[in-house]
A = this chain, B = another copy of it.
């Protein structure tokens, strides 16, 4: 990091900073301008000590040089990470589509949706058994009964399954029934939960929070990876901005930036991101064109009966049409679905 001192720092004050840097085992690099002195402290993990210097009265500000995450970085691992789940290769040439209802509601309904999405080319089915709802009075999910339905749907169709764990105690249960554990946007900085999924071997789909920077998303991935689980899928799902014409602002800029900074697969969830059914296909197509490795989509045959997220769920016929368009698009950019 680079430590910029306040204008008029005395030689004695400069020495205090230099001594501190040396005491931490680093070599200080001093540059003096006419009225500014800056001191470089370069080397692995230097960022760890950032606050020590920031807290000194004589320090004006700190500029970061090193990245604060390591295992998640492209510098640590050059080639793309490919995560294999029941024969599906996530992060490889093929783009993975995973679709389904927001919440699991009943067995027949999920099976019906699973058949539609599978025949249209999706590789996985999604659906929540534990639902993080803004209101305590809203439907909170079916719990284990929902997980069982998900598991039976998998057996019947061969689709891989994704579902959310909202707290540490749910992890064994979710890991038992599902192929991929989702950590939701609201838990992106629930660090104990991240540490817990870091200790198991199931792949984790990590959704960016609505106020999470790209750097923080990678730091949350680092929490999981530091525990030993390197099978992390990053997922952009919309950030919160002043714009209220859409539910969130799906930040597709994150796709090329994440692919550059990290080797992990990058998914996009346009259903939550834009939050308006008729606009979901445009954003799904844009995500594929921007380089996403996978797309999460909400599908429901009777959105007005859905217990959650009906307004943004595609109808089966809309989903089928979108899949046809995505397949053509994928080929146009040298990939496949």
Asked if A219 contacts B48 (CB within 8 A), the reply is no
Contact: B289 with A56, CB < 8 Å?
Answer: no
Known: A245-B257, A249-B251, A279-B256. A310 touches B135 (CB 8 A): no
Query: A317 within 8 Å of B by Cβ?
Result: no
Residue of B whose beta carbon sits closest to that of A291: B282
Residues of B within 8 A of A136 (CB): 191, 195, 219, 222-223, 226
Q: Contact size class for A?
A: 35 or more
Please pick, from B137, B244, B288, the residue contacting A48 in the complex, using a CB distance under 8 A.
B137
**How many copies of this kind of chain does the complex include?**
4
A313 proximity list for chain B (CB < 8 A): 55
Name the residue among A253, A256, A305 with the largest chain B CB count within 10 angstroms: A253
Q: Does A283 sit within 8 A of B, measured CB to CB? A: yes
| Interface segment out of the listed A91-99, A174-182, A199-207, A325-333 | A325-333
A245 touches which of B48, B137, B168, B213 (Cβ 8 Å) = B213
Is A250 an interface position by the 8 A CB rule? yes
Please, how many angstroms separate the alpha-carbon atoms of A301 and B250 in the complex?
33
The answer to whether A134 and B253 touch across the interface, beta carbons within 8 angstroms, is no
Given that A36-B65, A253-B250, A332-B328 are contacting pairs, would A289 and B288 also be in contact in the complex, using a CB cutoff of 8 Å?
Answer: yes
A211 and B240: CB pair below 8 A?
Answer: yes
A303 touches B55 (CB 8 A): yes
> Separation in Å of the A259 CB from the closest CB of chain B?
8
Distance in angstroms between the alpha carbons of A226 and B219 in the assembled complex = 34
Residues of A243-293 at the interface with B, using a CB-CB cut-off of 8 Å, are: 243-246, 249-257, 260, 273-274, 276-279, 282-283, 285-291
Given A31-B40, A244-B244, 12 extra CB contacts under 8 A: A29-B32, A31-B42, A32-B42, A33-B42, A34-B44, A36-B42, A51-B306, A51-B308, A52-B304, A167-B168, A282-B290, A332-B332
The 9 residue pairs across chains A and B that have the minimum distance between CB atoms: A55-B310, A33-B42, A211-B211, A29-B31, A63-B63, A289-B289, A55-B303, A332-B332, A186-B189
A residues touching B (Cβ–Cβ < 8 Å)? Answer: 2, 4, 7, 20, 29, 31-34, 36, 38, 40, 42-45, 47-48, 51-56, 63-66, 68-69, 75, 132-138, 140, 166-169, 186-187, 189-193, 195, 209-211, 213-216, 219, 222-223, 226, 239-246, 249-257, 260, 273-274, 276-279, 282-283, 285-291, 303-306, 308-311, 313, 325, 328-329, 331-333
